C-alpha cells in the first residue's frame, strides 16, 4: 500500500502509468507456476483473459449467478443482506457516505493524544511534539472495548508523504533527498508506528478522544524499545553493534494492516520495511550494489535496500553498510498490550519475516490460535501460523502463544484444492545444504524457504480474513508484472491489474486443517469492458464494481466488507477508493455495493466494526496525493502549499491530514441492518 517510488528521473507531474512503485517490483525468481497459471489451466486462459467465459466455466468458477453484466444505474438487489441505499461512485475533494449515515472525523494527523497540548501547527513541527500527537497515514484500526461506549483505539501509521507534510519540500525520493535534514527525518520517524488512545461515546452518540486517559501511548521507530520472541530471537543474524544480544530493537516501521487477538492485544504488521534502508554504495544507474554483503541473497529477495527515505543518512542502523543485520530485525508482526502503556512490545519471529499485510487471527475449535497473513508483493505468498498451545484464562500465557508454533505457506492446485506446506528446518529442502542451518534461518528468510517448498506465487496477497466456519477471504490486489502472454490489446497490462478475491475453505471447516478447496469470489474491474474479464454477480450496479481489493473486515453478522487501494492508478476506473459491501453466500454471491468513498488521492483502510456493529471505524490515509495529475481541474502533483484537497479541515494553510472516520447510523442501530 506504500506509494513511495524511487524513480528519480521520472517527472513529478507525469501520469502514474509512467512508473512502477518500487514496493511492487517482484523479487521472486520462482515463477514457474503462479496463481494466474493455475486459474488459466483450470478454466482456460483465453476465455478468462478475454472476458468471454462460457456460462459453464463462469458457473464453475463463480457460482450460478455470477455472469459478467452491468445493470442499469440504481438497480438494487431486493434480497441483499446489506440494507442501505447504495452510494454513487465519483472522485472529488470530499468524503461521502451512504444516505442515512454519519461519517464524522474522530482524529487527524497532528491532533493531540495527551493533555496540555496546543493546537497543531504544521509550520512548526518537531520530533518531540509529533510524539505527543496522532501520527501520519493511519492504516489498520483495532478496538478494545473497556465497557459499552468506552474503549481503546489502536491505529497503525504506515508511512509519510513529505511533499504534503512539510512546507517547501516536494517529493524527496525523486530529488535525492536534497531538502531532508536530521530534524525532518526524526519528525518522519516520530510520525510512524502507532497510536493507542482511549475514546468514549457521548450522550449525543458522538465519539471523542479521552486526552487524560491512562492508556494513551505513541509507538515509533524513533524511541520505542521492543524485544524479540521465537526461533530467531538472539540469533547471530539478529545481532548488531547496538544490540549484541540480538534480543532488543528500537521501533517498528511501515505498519500496514494488523489485527486484534482474542485476549485483547494489538498486532502491528510490518510490511514494506525494505524501503527504509539505505546504502552509500550506489552504481551509475542509481541502484544499490549489495554484492559485497554477506546477506546479499537475502537482501535481494527482500528488495533491500529500498532508499525511500533518508533515514540511513542520519541513523547508522538504517544504513546496511554500517549494520547489515539491521534489516533482519524488521518484517515481523509485533504484539502490543494496549492495557499497559509501560509494556514492551514483542516481535514474534515464529510468524515469519516478509512484507506482512494483515495479522488476523482466530481461535480454532481445539483452542489453538491460527493467524493468517499475506506477503504484499507481486508473485509472493499466502501464509498461516498455528500455535502449539491453546488459549486459556491466563492472559499472560496467551501473550506467549505466538512465540511457538508452525508457520505454513499455501500451494494451490489446478483442481481447486490447496495444501499448507510447513516451514520447518531439516524438513524437505530446508536444510543446511540449502542455506538453512536452523529454524532461525527459516524464519529470517521465510521467502527463500517458501520458494524452495514450491508455494504458489500470488497477485499481491494483502489482507486475509478468516471466518468462524472455516472460510478464509484473501485480497489479491493486482499484478501488472505478468508476461506478455497474459495481456491483450485493450488492457495492455495484465488483467490482474484490477485484482481478484479468493475464498479458501479449510477442510472440515477447521482453521487448523492442512488442506482445503479454493474458489474465486469476484474478479475485479469494469464488467462493461469484456477484455477486462471482470466477473461479478449480475445485479452489481455501475456503482458497485471496484478495483484493487486491499483491506477487509467481517461485521457481527458475518458479512464481508472490502476497502480498495488503486494507488495512482485510480484514473483507470475514474472512481476514488472506497468501502464496499460484498455478498459471499447464496444467489447474490459476488454482489457488491458502494457504502463509503474517500477524497481524491486518498485510500480507505482499516475497516473495523465495534459496539455490536453500531459503529464502524475507517482510516483515510494520504488524502490529496495519489494520482492527482489525473484529477480533472487540478492536473498536477500536490504539495504542502498547493494540495488537490485540504480534507478534512478545508482551512487555508492547513495541508490534507490523514484521519480516522467514525461511521454511525442516523438514529442509531447496526450498520446496514
User: How far is the C-alpha of 578 from the C-alpha of 546, rounded, in Å?
Assistant: 9
pLDDT in tens, 552-589: 999 999 999 999 999 999 999 999 999 999 999 999 99
pLDDT computed for residue 35 by the predictor: 53
Q: Give the model's pLDDT for residue 112.
A: 98
Give φ, ψ of 239 to 5 degrees.
Answer: -90, 140
Domain range summary for the chain, segments of one domain joined by +? 16-665
Residue 584: per-residue pLDDT: 97
Instruction: Pull the grid cell for residue 3.
Output: 506509494
Q: How many CB atoms lie within 10 A of CB 178?
A: 9
* 208 pLDDT above the threshold of 90: yes
Give the three-state DSSP class for 106.
strand
For residues 361-383, average pLDDT: 96
Task: Assign 204 a pLDDT band (cuts: 50, 70, 90).
Answer: very high
Distances (CA, A) of 208 to 97, 215, 322: 20, 15, 45
Rg (CA), the chain: 23
| Residue count of the chain | 673
Percent of the chain with pLDDT over 90: 79
Contact 131, 190 (CB under 8 A): yes
Please compute the mean of the pLDDT values over residues 528-533 and round it to a whole number: 85
Position 290 scores a pLDDT of 53
pLDDT, residue 17, reads: 35
How deeply is 275 buried, as exposed, middle or buried, from its count of CB atoms within 10 A (0-12, 13-18, 19+)? buried
| Whether pLDDT at 404 is above 90 | yes
Q: Give the span between the Cα atoms of 556 and 565, in whole angstroms.
A: 24
Q: Which helix (H) or strand (E) holds 39?
A: helix 35-43
Helix/strand/coil percent split, the chain, to 5: 20, 30, 55
Helix (H, G, I), strand (E, B) or coil at 67: coil
Give 587-626 pLDDT, tens digit per residue.
999 999 999 999 999 999 999 999 999 999 999 999 999 9
Q: Judging by DSSP bridges, how do beta strands 549-554 and 417-422 pair with one another?
A: unpaired
DSSP string, 402-416: GGSEEEEEEEE-TTS
pLDDT tens per residue, range 627-645: 999 999 999 999 999 999 9
Predicted pLDDT of residue 20: 43
Query: Is residue 45 pLDDT above 60, yes or no?
Result: no
Cβ neighbours of residue 171 closer than 8 Å, sequence gap 6 or more: 12, 162, 163, 637
Helix (H, G, I), strand (E, B) or coil at 390: strand
State the pTM of this model.
Answer: 0.91
| Tens-digit pLDDT profile for residues 427-456 | 999 999 999 999 999 999 999 999 999 999
Could you tell me which of 401, 353, 405, 361 has the C-alpha nearest to residue 381?
353
Quote the pLDDT of residue 60: 43
- Does the structure show a pLDDT above 50 at 68? no
Place of cell 500496514: 256
Mean pLDDT score, 396-410: 98
298: cell is: 537475502
pLDDT of 486 > 60? The answer is no
Contact 595, 613 (CB under 8 A): no
pLDDT(497) > 70: yes
What pLDDT, on the 0 to 100 scale, is given for residue 14?
31
Half-sphere exposure of 178 (CA within 13 A, CB side): 8
Residue, of 646 and 286, whose pLDDT is higher: 646
Amino acid at each position: 500500500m506504500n506509494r513511495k517510488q524511487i524513480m528519480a528521473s521520472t517527472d513529478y507531474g507525469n501520469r502514474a502509468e509512467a512508473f512502477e512503485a518500487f514496493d511492487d517490483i517482484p523479487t521472486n525468481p520462482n515463477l514457474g507456476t503462479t496463481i494466474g497459471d493455475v486459474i488459466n489451466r483450470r478454466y482456460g486462459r483465453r476465455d478468462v483473459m478475454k472476458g468471454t467465459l462460457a456460462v459453464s466455466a463462469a458457473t464453475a468458477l463463480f457460482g450460478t449467478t455470477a455472469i459478467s453484466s452491468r445493470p442499469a444505474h440504481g438497480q438494487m438487489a431486493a434480497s441483499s443482506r446489506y440494507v442501505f441505499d447504495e452510494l454513487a461512485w465519483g472522485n472529488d475533494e470530499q468524503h461521502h457516505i451512504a444516505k442515512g449515515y454519519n461519517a464524522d472525523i474522530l482524529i487527524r494527523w497532528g491532533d493531540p493524544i495527551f493533555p496540555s497540548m496546543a493546537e497543531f501547527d504544521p509550520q512548526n513541527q518537531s520530533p518531540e511534539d509529533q510524539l505527543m500527537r496522532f501520527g501520519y497515514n493511519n492504516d489498520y484500526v483495532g478496538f478494545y472495548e473497556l465497557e459499552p461506549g468506552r474503549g481503546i483505539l489502536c491505529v497503525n501509521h504506515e508511512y509519510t508523504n513529505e511533499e504534503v507534510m512539510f512546507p517547501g519540500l516536494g517529493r524527496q525520493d525523486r530529488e535525492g533527498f536534497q531538502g531532508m535534514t536530521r530534524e525532518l527525518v526524526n519528525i518522519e520517524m516520530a510520525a510512524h508506528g502507532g497510536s493507542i488512545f482511549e475514546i468514549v461515546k457521548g450522550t449525543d452518540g458522538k465519539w471523542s478522544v479521552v486526552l487524560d486517559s491512562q492508556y494513551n501511548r505513541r509507538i515509533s521507530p524513533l524511541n520505542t524499545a521492543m524485544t524479540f520472541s521465537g526461533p530467531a530471537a538472539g540469533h547471530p543474524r539478529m545481532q548488531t553493534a547496538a544490540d549484541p544480544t540480538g534480543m532488543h530493537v528500537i521501533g517498528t516501521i511501515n505498519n500496514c494492516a494488523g489485527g486484534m487477538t482474542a485476549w485483547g492485544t494489538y498486532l502491528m504488521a510490518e510490511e514494506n520495511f525494505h524501503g527504509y534502508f539505505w546504502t552509500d554504495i550506489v552504481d551509475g544507474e542509481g541502484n544499490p550494489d549489495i554484492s559485497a554483503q554477506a546477506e546479499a541473497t537475502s537482501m535481494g529477495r527482500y528488495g533491500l535496500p529500498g532508499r525511500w527515505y533518508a533515514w540511513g543518512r542520519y541513523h547508522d542502523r538504517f544504513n546496511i553498510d554500517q549494520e547489515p543485520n539491521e534489516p533482519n530485525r524488521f518484517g515481523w508482526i509485533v504484539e502490543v498490550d494496549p492495557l499497559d502503556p509501560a509494556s514492551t512490545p514483542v516481535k514474534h519471529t515464529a510468524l515469519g519475516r516478509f512484507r506482512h499485510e494483515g495479522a488476523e487471527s482466530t481461535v480454532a475449535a481445539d483452542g489453538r490460535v491460527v493467524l493468517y497473513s499475506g506477503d504484499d508483493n507481486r508473485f509472493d505468498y499466502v501464509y498461516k501460523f498455528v500455535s502449539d498451545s491453546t488459549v486459556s484464562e491466563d492472559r499472560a500465557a496467551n501473550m506467549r502463544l505466538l512465540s511457538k508454533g508452525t508457520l505454513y505457506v499455501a500451494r494451490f492446485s489446478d483442481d481447486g484444492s490447496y495444501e499448507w506446506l510447513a516451514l520447518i528446518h531439516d524438513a524437505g529442502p530446508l536444510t543446511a545444504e540449502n542455506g538453512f542451518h536452523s529454524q532461525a534461518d527459516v524464519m529470517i528468510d521465510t521467502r527463500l524457504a517458501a520458494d524452495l517448498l514450491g508455494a504458489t506465487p500470488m497477485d499481491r496477497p494483502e489482507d486475509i480474513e478468516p471466518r468462524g466456519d472455516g472460510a478464509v477471504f484473501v485480497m489479491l490486489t493486482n499484478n501488472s508484472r505478468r508476461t506478455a502472454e497474459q495481456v491483450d490489446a485493450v488492457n495492455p497490462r495484465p488483467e490482474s491489474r484490477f485484482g481478484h478475491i479468493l475464498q479458501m475453505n479449510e477442510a472440515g471447516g477447521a482453521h487448523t486443517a492442512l488442506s482445503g478447496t479454493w474458489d474465486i469470489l469476484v474478479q475485479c474491474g469494469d464488467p462493461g469492458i469484456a477484455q477486462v474479464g471482470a466477473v461479478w454477480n449480475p445485479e452489481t450496479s455501475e456503482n458497485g464494481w471496484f478495483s484493487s481489493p486491499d483491506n477487509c473486515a467481517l461485521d457481527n453478522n458475518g458479512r464481508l466488507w472490502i476497502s480498495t487501494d488503486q494507488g495512482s492508478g485510480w484514473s483507470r476506473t475514474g472512481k476514488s477508493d472506497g468501502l464496499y459491501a460484498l455478498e459471499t453466500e447464496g444467489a447474490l454471491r459476488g454482489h457488491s455495493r458502494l457504502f463509503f468513498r474517500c477524497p481524491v488521492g486518498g485510500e480507505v483502510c482499516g475497516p473495523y466494526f465495534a459496539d455490536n456493529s453500531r459503529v464502524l471505524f475507517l482510516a483515510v490515509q494520504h488524502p490529496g496525493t495519489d494520482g492527482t495529475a489525473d484529477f480533472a481541474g487540478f492536473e498536477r502533483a500536490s504539495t504542502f502549499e498547493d494540495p488537490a484537497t485540504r480534507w478534512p479541515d478545508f482551512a487555508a494553510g492547513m495541508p490534507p491530514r490523514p484521519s480516522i472516520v467514525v461511521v454511525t447510523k442516523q438514529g442509531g442501530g447496526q450498520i446496514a441492518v
